[in-house]
Structure 1
Amino acid sequence: MRIGADVDRPANDRRGGPVSTLELTTALQRPDLLAPPVADAIAALPPEHLERVLVAPIDPDLADTAAFCAAYDVAPEASANCLVVMGKRGDVVTTAAVLVLATTRADVNGVVRHLLDARKASFASTDDATERTGMEYGGITPIGVPSDWRVFVDSRIVDLPEVIVGAGIRGAKIALPGAVLAALPGVEVIDGLARPVA
């Protein structure tokens, strides 16, 4: 059964739910599966959210979205990618974490650039993104990014009962409700942040 499929189960029963091939456990019980900034951010969540943030180990070689979804039977529409975007206007540079579904493409030069009030918007380099987040490339997540960053989440994600995001390392993924993502400190939920991939 794929994550993202309709499942007849109690609302509070998430372990073994639609994620049939991921061995999920409460994230705080497995800090070894989280990058340090991610673990710190999760630990600071309100108690009502803590038990809803789960983590599972994965093969680091399968961390990239297409390979991960195929190997772990996760529907792409339930998997989200976090992009690091830098907007520049004059000497002012603003950085944002942009979370969109794997079935969509972020509108970087339109919506994101406008939100950042930037003349130019572009993806951060791999080295810059990993150094500034303290996370591994392929595992970057909006959970635990620097506090001075903007965090944009596509509105399509918010109503999902469960969405897969990075854990800060390539060897794990986090599963949590879209509503919990939307409630993270500093998150801005944006309509039209991404466009469906043709």
Structure 2
Amino acid sequence: MTLPSFPTLASLPAADHHTLVAAPVAAALAEWSGASEVAVVDIDPDLADTAAMSQAYDIPMTASGNCVVVAGSRGGDERIAACVVRADTRADVNTLVRKMLDVRKASFLPMDRAVEETGMEHGGITPVGLPSAWRLLVHEALLDEPVVVLGSGVRRSKLLVPGRLLADLPGAEVVVGLGR
């Protein structure tokens, strides 16, 4: 099987290179049937932010996915969702995600809390290996991408995932119009 790749990045099988990803990501890869098609690439951690990485490694923004964590509450019950959207869009938090969570107001989870609860680094949060209690909302546009660049849980690497596999992540809900 050929691993997903970009000419400017050296792909390695993610399932065999756990030291390049955060511990929760490695654990999720070990359990996920799609992991054999996932690559990991080593990058300069100073270029981990999507725009900088895209420019430095000549990756189209349409081939990158950003994962943001959103929370709201209703009746004292907190509801959290990770939203994975194509990097040339923004998650529709105030309308679509708020309605899907059935909350009055949805806000980004404070970064320190997102980092603590995911076991991942700021700038590296990925939909692979998130807490199982969280909803995982996936922008439908990402499914059409041959390769999607995602965080790996750490800033010094990225995952390369065939877009179609994002729908197969545990708990994934594909959402039309999630990215605007």
Residue 29 of structure 2 corresponds to residue 42 of structure 1: yes
Q: Which residue type is aligned with residue 153 of structure 1?
A: V
Distance (whole Å) between structure 2 residues aligned to residue 110 and residue 166 of structure 1 = 25
CA offset at residue 53 of structure 1?
A: 0.5
* Runs of 4+ that moved beyond 4 A: none
Unaligned segments of structure 2, at least 5 residues: none
Residue 20 of structure 2 corresponds to residue 21 of structure 1: no
CA offset at residue 90 of structure 1?
A: 3.0
Of 107, 114, 118, 1:122 maps to 107
Distance (whole Å) between structure 2 residues aligned to residue 134 and residue 144 of structure 1 = 9
CA RMSD of aligned residues (A): 1.1
Of 116, 125, 133, 1:140 maps to 125
Helix, strand or coil: the match of 2:71? strand
Helix, strand or coil: the match of 1:71? helix
Distance (whole Å) between structure 2 residues aligned to residue 57 and residue 119 of structure 1 = 41
- Contact kept, 8 Å, 1:89 with 1:120, in 2: the verdict is no
CA offset at residue 161 of structure 1?
A: 1.1
Larger RCO (alpha carbons 8 Å, 6+ apart):
2
Match of 1:64 in 2: 49
CA offset at residue 92 of structure 1?
A: 1.2
Of 61, 70, 73, 1:76 maps to 61
Please report the TM-score for the alignment, with normalisation by the length of structure 1: 0.88
Q: Which residue type is aligned with residue 188 of structure 1?
A: E
Deviations 1:70-129 (A, max 9, x none): 111100010010000002223111111100011001100100000001111000111000
Question: Equivalences for 1:166-185 in 2 at 5 Å?
Answer: 166-185=151-170
Match of 1:92 in 2: 77
Q: Which residue type is aligned with residue 28 of structure 1?
A: A
Q: Which residue type is aligned with residue 35 of structure 1?
A: A
Distance (whole Å) between structure 2 residues aligned to residue 52 and residue 149 of structure 1 = 24
Unaligned segments of structure 1, at least 5 residues: 1-11
Q: Which residue type is aligned with residue 97 of structure 1?
A: A
Distance (whole Å) between structure 2 residues aligned to residue 51 and residue 186 of structure 1 = 19
Helix, strand or coil: the match of 1:140? coil
Q: State the number of aligned residues.
A: 180
- Name the larger-Rg structure: 1
CA offset at residue 185 of structure 1?
A: 0.9
Please report the TM-score for the alignment, with normalisation by the length of structure 2: 0.97
Helix, strand or coil: the match of 2:69? strand
Structure with the higher fraction of residues in helix conformation: 2
Match of 1:6 in 2: none
CA offset at residue 13 of structure 1?
A: 3.5
